Chains A and B, each alone.
Chain A
Amino acid sequence: MTLNIDKIRSDFPILKSSVNGKPLVYLDNAATTQKPQTVIDAITQYYTKYNSNIHRGTHHLSNLATEAHEAARKTIQTYINAQSSHEVIFTRGTTEAINLVAYAFGEAYVNAGDEVIVTEMDHHSNFVPWQMMCERRRAHFRVIPFDANGDLKLDVFANLLNDRTRIVAFNHVSNSLGTINPAREIIRMAHEAGAAVLVDAAQSVQHIDHDVQALDADFYAFSGHKIYGPTGIGILYGKESWLEAMPPYQGGGEMIDLVSIDKTTYNKLPFKYEAGTPNIVGPIGLAAAIDYLNTMDYDEIMAHEDETLEYAREQLLGIDGLTLYGNSNHRTSILAFNIEGIHHYDLGTLLDTQGVAVRTGHHCTQPIMTALGIEGTVRASLALYNNRSDIDALVAGIHHVKKMLGK
């Protein structure tokens, strides 16, 4: 059975909206995805039927809320194939998950003269926290460059690895280029050198391989809102051995075992890393999104997204003066481009008048823009519910803008 995209589109109420009098064509999914009705309902149900604080309550509602919150952890564990649900830590998003590891891992394992490796195509969220940690720990910050197609230079990576390398952090999929990085190979190489690995899965978990055990990732981070769930919830997966060994990131309620004036001992996993009242409904909404995806066949989702991407590339490349960035043979979901003589901000703004939502700018990847020698791009990014009509609307919109600007 193949996916029924019309049916899927009807599951997302926002896709029926109009913008500037035109039907919404939503192509900003790498920034955030829209939510299916089941996710919206799960959130509404929580606040309508069983909103309560969790883990400590003695009353009925608290028990319901705790059960739903912890059931969500199991749903997420299954989705990423973690060995145990206590390896799934709830955070605010990918950024907080990475900051948590950069802090806690840095405190425990990184000392003066050690080395940390990231890539030139990482999002600032997977770049700056490591730079900060290196400054704090007086460690060296190393960067794997990418080539003209947007593929990482693994030979350079091989040379960067040495016995001082403590951790390697990279994005599985680049949010600006769409490159799918060879995660298994990078992780294998890092492990052979004795380094741990963090995978920034913000742009991959919703599109491709997301089995943390098959990847053999030490840490794996993603955001709920980019996988059809709500904002404000992110996931940090960590192998139990690392999570047990590292110190907590933040102190407060929930994360403690016993507190006295002399000494505080910490709660067990996952709560050790979850200080304060958590985003209770976030995981419930995210689990609803995963349940929704689980009603479909993943191979079919990937095939549909690939088909739409390749159709879009072909259509865009037919436009005079258009440059497409990111030409790796291993790619997904991202179409980054510029048109000669038209500023990306102008193109994005004018596409909006056609109802076409794209993002413009440097996409929080200034090192990529520097490497490409540009200020920014227009970026159209795809999700499950996008189809050829969306691409046709984008292309028609671009032609319209070109005509308007006499280009």
Chain B
Amino acid sequence: MMASIEEIQNQIVEDFSFLPQWEERYAYLIELGQKLQPLPDEKRMDENLVRGCQSTVWLHRECQDGRVYLQSDSDSLIVKGLAALLLDVFSGQPAEAVLKADLTFFDETGLNRHLSSQRANGLMAMIDEIKTFAAECAAGEV
């Protein structure tokens, strides 16, 4: 059985607790980003584009049997790593759970600086998109 959103978030917080230095955290994020499957060209279409101020993020959404499935990519490796964490937390989860979930791991890992800082990377927009899609998926609209 798949781990719950809460369990996954706790795991992320634990993983980051072993990385006290920011440089180590970024190195880890970059590694996660590099491991993330690149989004195939046919899914790099405008409707999958989440525009940030500084980097481009693609988010492909699917709804199957009331669950949300996500794929993502970015031209920035750090943003791609952050997207990988979001996918880890949300992709494959029941739409209802995605909708209700409180994203706590950003605050607890200190990665929230990427949400608030300088409208920088489209991450906040990505979270909004995921939530909106989860609502549509839960309502059987997609």
Residues of A close to B75: CB separation below 8 A: 343, 375
In the complex, residue of chain A having the shortest beta-carbon distance to the beta carbon of B27:
A404
Decide yes or no whether A106 CB sits under 8 A from chain B. Answer: no
B54 touches A376 (CB 8 A): yes
Decide yes or no whether B120 CB sits under 8 A from chain A. Answer: yes
Decide yes or no whether A346 CB sits under 8 A from chain B. Answer: yes
Residues of A close to B26: CB separation below 8 A: 349-350, 353
Distance A361 CA – B75 CA, assembled complex (angstroms): 13
Distance A201 CA – B98 CA, assembled complex (angstroms): 50
B121 touches A353 (CB 8 A): no
A343 touches B76 (CB 8 A): yes
Distance A346 CA – B121 CA, assembled complex (angstroms): 11
A346 touches B56 (CB 8 A): no
Residues of B close to A344: CB separation below 8 A: 54
Distance A20 CA – B26 CA, assembled complex (angstroms): 13
A332-351 CB contact bits vs B (8 Å, 1 = yes)?
Answer: 00000000000111100110
Distance A405 CA – B80 CA, assembled complex (angstroms): 14
A346 touches B53 (CB 8 A): no
B77 touches A343 (CB 8 A): yes
Residues of A close to B76: CB separation below 8 A: 343, 345-346
Q: Write the nearest CB–CB distance from A360 to chain B, whole angstroms.
A: 6
B8-40 CB contact bits vs A (8 Å, 1 = yes)?
Answer: 000000000000011100110010000000000
Residues of A close to B54: CB separation below 8 A: 344-345, 360-362, 375-376
Q: Which of A343, A375, A405 has the most CB of B within 10 A?
A: A343
Distance A376 CA – B75 CA, assembled complex (angstroms): 12
Distance A162 CA – B30 CA, assembled complex (angstroms): 54
Residues of A close to B118: CB separation below 8 A: 361
Distance A223 CA – B53 CA, assembled complex (angstroms): 24
Residues of A close to B23: CB separation below 8 A: 20, 350, 353, 404
Residues of A close to B48: CB separation below 8 A: none
Q: Write the nearest CB–CB distance from B139 to chain A, whole angstroms.
A: 35
Given A345-B121, A349-B26: A361 and B53 interface contact (C-beta under 8 Å): yes
With an 8 Å Cβ cutoff, the count of chain B residues facing the other chain is 18
A349 touches B78 (CB 8 A): yes
In the complex, residue of chain B having the shortest beta-carbon distance to the beta carbon of A404:
B27
B79 touches A345 (CB 8 A): yes
In the complex, residue of chain A having the shortest beta-carbon distance to the beta carbon of B22:
A353
B30 touches A405 (CB 8 A): yes
Residues of B close to A352: CB separation below 8 A: 22
Distance A21 CA – B20 CA, assembled complex (angstroms): 12
A343 touches B27 (CB 8 A): no
Q: Write the nearest CB–CB distance from B50 to chain A, whole angstroms.
A: 14
Decide yes or no whether B109 CB sits under 8 A from chain A. Answer: no
Q: Write the nearest CB–CB distance from A190 to chain B, whole angstroms.
A: 34
Distance A185 CA – B100 CA, assembled complex (angstroms): 62
Given A360-B54, A404-B27, A405-B30: A346 and B22 interface contact (C-beta under 8 Å): no
Residues of A close to B120: CB separation below 8 A: 345, 361
B55 touches A345 (CB 8 A): yes
Residues in A166-216 with C-beta less than 8 Å from chain B? none
Q: Which of B21, B22, B27, B118 has the most CB of A within 10 A?
A: B22
Q: Write the nearest CB–CB distance from A365 to chain B, whole angstroms.
A: 13
Residues of B close to A353: CB separation below 8 A: 21-23, 26
A381-407 CB contact bits vs B (8 Å, 1 = yes)?
Answer: 000000000000000000000001100
B77 touches A346 (CB 8 A): yes
Distance A262 CA – B54 CA, assembled complex (angstroms): 52
Residues in B43-64 with C-beta less than 8 Å from chain A? 53-56
Residues of A close to B121: CB separation below 8 A: 345
A15-45 CB contact bits vs B (8 Å, 1 = yes)?
Answer: 0000011000000000000000000000000
B67-91 CB contact bits vs A (8 Å, 1 = yes)?
Answer: 0000000011111000000000000
Q: Write the nearest CB–CB distance from B99 to chain A, whole angstroms.
A: 30
Distance A189 CA – B45 CA, assembled complex (angstroms): 47
In the complex, residue of chain B having the shortest beta-carbon distance to the beta carbon of A348:
B54
Distance A352 CA – B54 CA, assembled complex (angstroms): 16
Can you sample 10 A-B contacts with CB below 8 Å? A20-B21, A21-B21, A343-B55, A344-B54, A350-B26, A353-B22, A353-B23, A361-B54, A375-B56, A405-B77
Which B residues form the contact surface with A (CB < 8 A)?
21-23, 26-27, 30, 53-56, 75-79, 118, 120-121
Which A residues form the contact surface with B (CB < 8 A)?
20-21, 343-346, 349-350, 352-353, 360-362, 375-376, 404-405
Q: Give 8 closest A-B pairs by Cβ, nearest first.
A: A343-B76, A353-B23, A345-B76, A361-B54, A345-B54, A353-B22, A345-B55, A346-B78
A344-B54, A345-B76, A404-B23 known; 19 new pairs, CB 8 Å cut-off, are: A20-B22, A21-B21, A343-B55, A345-B54, A345-B120, A346-B30, A346-B76, A346-B77, A346-B78, A350-B23, A350-B78, A353-B22, A353-B26, A361-B53, A361-B54, A361-B118, A361-B120, A375-B55, A405-B77
